[in-house]
Each structure stands twice: as C-alpha cells, then as structure tokens.
Chain A
Amino acid sequence: MIEMHHIYKNYGNDVVVLKDLNLVIDRGEFIFIVGSSGAGKSTLLKLLLREIIPTRGSIKIFGRDIMRIKRRQIPFFRRNIGMVFQDFRLLSDRDVFENVAFALRVTGVPAKEIRKRVPLSLELVGIKDKASKRPDELSGGEQQRVCVARAIVNRPAVIIADEPTGNLDPNTSMGIMNLFQEINVRGTTVIIATHAKELVNHFQKRVVVLEGGRLISDQERGVYINAH
C-alpha cells in the first residue's frame, strides 16, 4: 500500500534529513517508526501526507505516485489518512462531539450521517459519555482519544500518529497504544512514530529504526534497538 524507494529529503543544500530510505508497508500492518529526536520520523510521516515532497526518490501510496497528485486532489487524497498528533490539536471552543464531527463537516458529509458516525467513533475510543464535554475538561489520555476518534471517523485506510503518547504518562500511553491495536485489528493500517522504548518493545510489532535520516533496522516483531 505504501512504497518508498531511495528517498532523500534535504532542506536547502546542507540539511540532509532523510538518506536513501526504502520502506514498503502493506495493507493492515501495524508499524512503529522509532528513533531519537531529530532522526527524521516526522519528516517521513509528512512525506506520506504529501505535506512535503522528497528531494529524490519515489513514493507510491494506494498505488499512486504522490508526485502525480495534483494540488487540487491533495485534500481528497488526505481523506484516506487519519492523523493523530502529540499535542492532540483539539478545538477548545467546541465540545468533544463537535471536535470529532469537524472532520466530517469540513469534508461535506451530511448532518444525518454525522449524527450516526460520530457516536460510533466515540464509542470505539471509549469516551462516548464525554461527548458534550469541552477538551479542557478532559484528561490528557481522554483528549488523545478524541483526537483518535476524529482521525478514524471518516474511516480512513491508514492512521498515522506522530508521538501520540509524547505528552502522556506510561499507564495512559499503554491505553492509547492498545486503542491503536484495536483499530488495527479492525483492518486499518497503523503507522506510529515514537521514541517510547518500553511501549514498542511490549507490543512486539514491526519496528523500523531511523538514525540520522537512515533506516538502520526493519524487523517484524522487532524491538527498539539503539546503534550505540
């Protein structure tokens, strides 16, 4: 489903962020992208969202060369990808329901459909009873669940999470990772960038290790290894 071949990403002439990256991800996989801060994890995810384009190399997503996606088509392309952020990025001026509904409203989904889908999504992430609460009335873990609910509400093929547990304590983090696993079991591809070593090792999933912009290890049932 995702194929990256010989990807290079530079900023200007001096800043080399990704070097000769090769990565193939199949439908339904659960994959951790790990590495220390500055290794290039976020850059890799941004490439998948077509927020940025590679300096060199080819990326195919859903069988399409991302360089061939026209500007106008990018929004429609992104509707296939749900994004989860470290800082949740919820809108503080509206309640949980509206935060999740937002993703549907701005993509032109009818209100009737929204009333059906949002509760389902909230139920799946386990915060159905918090629908009318505002984000600042929720704990960090609950806020992240809202963010996940928003990411999955339009049933994307892929969920991409950038340090989703970066702002959470270990127990809460485990809960969120379990949630991702549940979502994965239902058939959604899940890609998580993180440097939470214990969590990664606990789940025994595919682990891709980046260091200084290079892919130094890619293992099924892998563990988070450090080069040093």
Chain B
Amino acid sequence: MHIRSLFYFLGEALKSVVRHGWMSIASIAVVAITLLILGCFMVLNYNVTSLAEDIKEQVQIVVYVDKNAGEEARDELQSKLVAHPELEEVRFVTKEEAMERLKKQMGDRAYLLDGYTEDDDNPLRDSYEIRTKIPENIPQVAEEVGKYPGVGYVDYGKGIVEPLFQFTGVVRWIGMFFMVGMAVTAIFLIAHTIRLTVYIRRREIQIMKYVGATDWFIRWPFIFEGLILGLFGAILPVILIQCSYQAAAEWTQENIYFVSLISPQLIGTEVAQLLVPLGVVLGILGSTLSVRKFLKV
C-alpha cells in the first residue's frame, strides 16, 4: 500500500467516523462496554488466579513416618522421595522439631505440652514435608507416596485443595464463555455501523467504481473505520480499568492488609496488551464482515 493512499484511507475513515458522529459514538460505546466487562473479568480472573496461586504454594504433603519403621525402611523411603521426579522439595522434620513448632504455635499455652516433650514421651512423629512441582498433582502424588514402605500416613489438606482447583477451573471456563460471547456481539455491532456507512456512501462508491478505483481502494477506508472504532472502543476501558484498579488497589492495601492484589502497573499493561489488539481485531473483523456482505465491488 502506498503511503499516500494510507493517508487517504485514514483521512476518509476519520471523516466518516466524525460525519456519522452519533453512530460512531454509539458503536464505540458498545465496544467499550463490551471490552470493559471483559477487562473487569480479566482483572478479577487474574486476582483470583494469583490468590489461588498463593494458596497453592502453601499447600504441601506431609508424609508421616511409621513409628515402627526400621532403619532400612526409613532409608528406602527417603531415597524414594528424593528420587521422585514430580517432587520439587523434600524436607525431613524430626519429631523434636515438630514439637518445637507446636510449642511456638501454642504460645502462652505451651505449658500444656509439658511432660510430652521428652524424647520417649513425644507423641509426634518424624515426617517429610514435600511439595510437588505442579500443585494440581498433589492428590495423586499423595496417594502414590502413601504406599511407600515406612509410611504411617499421608496428609495434604484434602478437602481444601480439590475444591480450590475446581473453583479456579470453573472461573476460567465462565470467563472464556463470556469473552467469546462478548466478542461476537462487538463484531456484529461494528459490522452494523460499517454497513450503515457503506449505505450512506453508496453514491460515492458507485462513482469510485466508474472512475476506476480498485476494489481494495474502495474497501480500505471501511476497514480503517472499523479499526478506528475498535481502537477507541478499547482505549476507553483500558484507561477506566487502570484508574479504578489503581484506586481499588490502594484502598485494599490500606484497609485489608492481608489480601495482596496484583500491582496496578502490571494489570494496566496486561489489560492494555489484551484489549487494544482485541479492539482492533474486533473492528477489522466487523468491518470485513460488512464490506464482504454489503460492499458489492
């Protein structure tokens, strides 16, 4: 495409956007609302995922060593755990260490444990705290490790892990579903606007054909118009989300100190990186649809 033509197309597209002011504003608004919902959803999804990630990182398997296990069984257990390909971290916690932790946890009431702390009286067991490389594999690995020699029993916060992963999974699916539905709506709205432009400019198009403008020369301004509508429709929600998320993040930081939201800068970039190209693609798709269907060139 010649640079001169590029300016011509952009100029024509902009003129058209301005000339059909209300229609343009309406379609930009609809695209903006669509992308705004999408963007909000994305922010929510990111934070839920990050929260889930936080929780996941705290999820570990505790393998309690059988009290009656002999040296041999203990050695075998250790070497099997260390060699396990799906494990990331294997930490041995002696029952003395476990007792110390318990005391710390109980704080003021640690005196209750007096009389259990001596080695022979210690009711706790030696254990291995292990983490899997992929948190979702915890239940499966736990079951496998449970069958190793010298294992008393295995504990991994069953009942928390599975629902959590299910929840994040469902959130993602609903998200996908919404985004696809919204995108389709936006495409059709832009297509409708461009169709109107094609109709309004039908005279011009006819003359263009008579004087020998190429089909692509006739099409480009409409495609650019869709692109502009999509771009403006994306920029608005990006700004809006950035500003309101910034405020929300500051508020949360001051008032709910234990929840840490993803940083606004990161969210801003991520949202812009998704919405702007998406707006442009939606715009182009919408106009292409219209141009193909209604622009008989």
Q: Which chain A residues have a beta carbon within 8 Å of chain B's beta carbons?
A: 49, 72, 75-79, 83, 89, 91, 93, 102-103, 105-108, 110-111, 150, 154
Contact = CB atoms under 8 A, between A and B. Distances in A.
21 contacts: A72-B214, A75-B212, A75-B215, A77-B212, A79-B211, A79-B212, A83-B211, A89-B203, A89-B206, A91-B203, A91-B204, A91-B207, A103-B207, A103-B211, A106-B211, A107-B211, A107-B213, A108-B2, A108-B5, A108-B217, A110-B4
B198 to A, nearest CB: 15
A83 B93 CA distance: 93
B208 interface: yes
Contacts of A103: 207, 211
Contacts of A72: 214-215
Nearest to B214: A75
B217 A78 contact: no
Contacts, number: 52
Contacts of A75: 209, 212-215, 217
Interface string B217-230: 11000000000000
Contacts of A108: 2, 4-5, 217
A106 B4 CA distance: 11
Contacts of A105: 8
B34 to A, nearest CB: 31
B203 A106 contact: no
Contact of A102 (B2, B207, B214, B215): B207
Given A89-B203, A91-B203, A111-B4, A106 B210 contact: no
Given A108-B5, A108-B217, A110-B4, A154 B211 contact: yes
Interface string B1-22: 0101100100000000001000
B212 A76 contact: yes
